[in-house]
């Protein structure tokens, strides 16, 4: 498995325990230049903007834990393409958000240079 | 380059000349079981249903030619993941539809077993 793919799969694992764990992982892996885009919905640059977006998301949904189901993934050099279902659960373990999506990651070692997720935005989250 | 990726890139090239060329290519590469999904928007099985969807698309937009810009692509076995911009033009060469998307193809030789595209459906086409 390529280093880039290994790092992306590790990133998904880091989300699971809690929303703060996800933010800690994003802070570790984002640089000030990391461009994170939910295509058609949001585009942030750097961790501070990404955190502000996540804070808004968490205000809409009381997320406690997460699960990333990777259906397919492949890497070409430092670019990783994924097809996933991202699930988020409240403190009672009830699933409150489920997103079918594809996402692409441009990696530099453990750092995320760019991350774009594509999904059916009409459904909202 | 993997055979699956080669076939998918060839499929994109086959779209370019005209809408009938795209339909001919789809008929050649689809089986009766091919599941084509525009996630959140449409899901068809087999070529006949796919053609009916494309006919509806063509009624909305007078498509004459197409262009598929592949930003990133990678294969894992028979599965090909792509990040693309799909552009469609009218008979005067004017761009009338442009879709930023990611798509996954499950291939069997030159045949498409399953094809799922993900994009910002809120924008429509």
User: Which pLDDT tens digit goes with each residue over A23-69?
Assistant: 999 999 999 999 999 999 999 999 999 999 999 999 999 999 999 99
A80-125 pLDDT per residue, tens: 999 999 999 999 999 999 999 999 999 999 999 999 999 988 775 5
- A72: its two tokens: 């397919």
A37 near B CB under 8 A: no
Report the relative pairing of strands A79-89 and A65-76 from DSSP bridges. antiparallel
- Mean pLDDT across B56-70: 94
Q: Do B40 and A119 touch (CB under 8 A)?
A: yes
Structural element, H or E, at residue A35: strand A30-38
**ipTM beyond cut 0.90:** yes
Sheet with B30-38, strands from edge to edge, namely B42-45, B30-38, B111-119, B95-108, B79-89, B65-76
Q: How far apart are the first and last CA of chain A?
A: 31
| Pure H helices in B1-112 | 3-15, 19-29, 46-60
Q: Do the strands B111-119 and A30-38 form a parallel or antiparallel pair, or are they unpaired?
A: unpaired
End-to-end CA distance of chain B: 31
Angle at the Cα of B81 from the Cα atoms of B79 and B83, rounded to 5 degrees: 165
Percent of chain A residues topping a pLDDT of 90: 91
Give this prediction's pTM. 0.95
What is the SS3 assignment for B70?
Answer: strand
Class of residue B14 by CB neighbours under 10 A (exposed 0-12, middle 13-18, buried 19+): middle
Q: In the prediction, which pLDDT does A124 show?
A: 58
Residue A70 contacts residue A41 (beta carbons within 8 Å) = no
Contacts of A102 in chain B (CB under 8 A): 81, 83, 102-104, 118
The yes-or-no answer on residue A108 being catalytic is no
Which pLDDT does position B125 carry in this prediction? Answer: 57
Contact present, B79 and B4 (Cβ < 8 Å)? yes
Q: Could you tell me which of B95, B101, B72, B102 has the C-alpha nearest to residue B5?
A: B72
CA B19 to chain centre: 11
Report pLDDT for A125.
57
The CA distance from B11 to B68, in Å, is 10
Instruction: Find, in chain B, the residue whose alpha carbon is nearest to that of A41.
Output: B120
> Which of A32, A55, A86, A90 is the catalytic position?
A86
Tell me if chain A has a CB within 8 Å of the CB of B101: yes
Residue-wise pLDDT tens digits, A10-22: 999 999 999 999 9
Q: Cβ contacts of residue A55 below 8 Å, gap of 6+?
A: none
Query: How far, in Å, CA of A70 to CA of A85, rounded?
Result: 7
């Amino acid at each position: 498995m390529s280093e880039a793919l290994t790092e992306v799969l590790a990133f998904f694992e880091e989300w699971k325990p809690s929303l703060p764990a996800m933010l800690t992982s994003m802070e570790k892996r984002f640089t000030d230049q990391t461009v994170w885009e939910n295509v058609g919905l949001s585009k942030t640059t750097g961790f501070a903007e990404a955190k502000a977006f996540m804070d808004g998301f968490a205000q809409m949904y009381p997320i406690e834990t997460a699960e990333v189901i990777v259906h397919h993934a492949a890497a070409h050099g430092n670019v990783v393409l994924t097809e996933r279902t991202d699930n988020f659960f409240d403190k009672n373990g009830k699933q409150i958000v489920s997103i079918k999506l594809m996402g692409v990651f441009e990696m530099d070692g453990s750092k995320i240079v760019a991350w774009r997720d594509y999904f059916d935005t009409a459904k909202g989250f």
